[in-house]
Amino acid sequence: MKPIIEKQLSELFKEWSGEEITQISQLPRSGSDRQYIRIKSKTKSAIGTYNPDKKENIAFLNFSKHFFAEGLSVPQIYSEMPNNDIYLQEDLGNTTLFGYLSKVYKDGIFPKQLIDIYKLILTELPRFQIEGSKNLDFSVCYPRNSFDKQSMMWDLNYFKYYFLKLAKVQFDEQELENDFQAFTDYLLRADREYFLYRDFQSRNIMLNDDKICFIDYQGGRKGALQYDVASLLYDSKADIPQHIREELLNTYINAVDKYIKIDKDEFLNYFQGYTLVRIMQAMGSYGFRGFYEKKEHFLLSIPFALKNLKYQLENLRLPVKLTALVNALDQVVKSEFLKQFGGNKNPLKVTISSFSYKKGFPADISGNGGGFVFDCRCLSNPGRYSEYKKVTGKDQAVIDFFSKQTDIHEFLDKVYSIVDMAVENYIERKFGNLMINFGCTGGQHRSVFCAENLNNYLKKKYGVETILRHTETHLFVDSE
């Protein structure tokens, strides 16, 4: 963030809070041009936001004020300077649903506490879509005020040009275009008078003090109920098991029924169509970022999308004939070219170690000459309390302790941002080894917790092979 923008946000914060600033920290950037900083004073905290896209700001700020006034789970807007493209919004912490999922969804087991969180989210979503759409000013929507035929065709052509063509799938351009027209005409028959979030997925849901909060809805517009729930349940890297998807979908439908009466069979018919168009939109994004922009880690989402697509094709029951589209999608599922992204094909191996500064740094046995060393001694230390003396950063008691500490999560967010740059560069350059070390006084609590979290983060985001070493707890884990 440019110094002048940070200064303007600082002045806005001081004016709003009436207090002197004690801390400013940069937050990781999203996929857009928006930039964020966390600003703190003695008793207050806020997220300072800069976005040069004025129309997007208008949509986000208007939606936020409306939803907040209706008691919906969105960040409060504290202050704004529209002419400078900046505003202050509520600080919701650091834990996204995706971040939490990455920590607890292990070994193919989707735990009950995660199911419960999804049910809570899907119970809140209809209130957001139905009640939140009442008296909402859809004229501020950007770039369109409805998920209409034009919006759908944009997504389908995005998929065609940035995924199908780049993935070497054969199709007849005119026949596929005819199917796109027929498909969108069918989807447009669904009731579309509700607020459609547009990008309702696990990275846009915050978990804060046992509460959920929705963010990044600036692309919202009027549309069908089915699209958002399809976005969440078929979020590729979340990889929700199909039987749990069905359970969660029933939770959502029952929640909708409290606000409006719907025909369940009709809803499910359209749901399949909107699921398909959402999967194709996501694959277009993977193709653009991965094939076109050469950002290889985006290609790691392809196996999950193929799995979702395969299930949809095997259970396709749309009342409209889409021969060319189904043929193209069938080629996608069977493509040998795309199957190469189904495993860990890059050579990078990341060694993550926790250690005690009293014993010295871990040795680098890869021959790469070492790597990152992060000092965790500045963080809150459970080792100072007797009840934590005989447990480590892997144990639930310590995990619960850190869940109440903001410093370690801010620390990890910065670590993720730094490590992302290295991992993406190393993958692109076909490097074989990267070493990352976390040290604390005894090598038992803080360093172990940080190493565990980074290990889960890297496996989930990049699919790289990791070796996890805890030098002082006598734990050694190889992970694929």
From 39, 69, 90, the end of a domain falls on: 90
- Residue 13 confidence (pLDDT) above 60: yes
Same domain, 311 and 167: yes
CATH number at residue 58: 3.30.200.20
Same domain, 317 and 361: no
> pLDDT tens for residues 82-92?
999 999 999 99
Same domain, 364 and 239: no
For position 344, what pLDDT does the model report?
Answer: 54
d(CA 101, CA 109): 11
| Confidence category of residue 346, pLDDT binned at 50, 70, 90 | low
> pLDDT tens for residues 298-314?
888 899 999 999 999 99
From 53, 71, 90, the end of a domain falls on: 90
> pLDDT tens for residues 376-409?
999 999 999 999 999 999 999 999 999 888 899 9
CA proximity to 49, closest of 97, 19, 92: 92
Determine how β-strand 433-440 pairs with β-strand 221-223: unpaired
Q: Which domain holds residue 387?
A: 349-479
| Confidence category of residue 166, pLDDT binned at 50, 70, 90 | very high
For position 476, what pLDDT does the model report?
Answer: 39
Same domain, 317 and 359: no
Number of domains in the chain: 3
Backbone φ, ψ for residue 334 (5° rounding): -95, -5
Same domain, 353 and 336: no
CA proximity to 443, closest of 360, 380, 387, 363: 360
From 63, 90, 117, the end of a domain falls on: 90
Same domain, 242 and 262: yes
> How many other CB atoms are there within 10 angstroms of residue 323's CB atom?
11
Same domain, 128 and 67: no
Same domain, 148 and 38: no
CA dihedral 60, 63, 66, 71 (to 10 degrees): -90
- Residue 475 confidence (pLDDT) above 50: no
> pLDDT tens for residues 213-271?
999 999 999 999 999 999 999 999 899 999 999 999 999 999 999 999 999 999 999 99
For position 303, what pLDDT does the model report?
Answer: 92
Name 46's bridge partners: 39, 90
Q: Spell out the residues 6+ positions from residue 109 whose beta carbon is closer than 8 angstroms to its own.
A: none
d(CA 228, CA 274): 9
- Residue 78 confidence (pLDDT) above 60: yes
CATH number at residue 164: 3.90.1200.10
**Contact status, residue 248 vs residue 233, Cβ threshold 8 Å:** yes
For position 69, what pLDDT does the model report?
Answer: 97
Same domain, 313 and 404: no
Same domain, 284 and 210: yes
Same domain, 423 and 406: yes
Same domain, 82 and 102: no
For position 474, what pLDDT does the model report?
Answer: 60
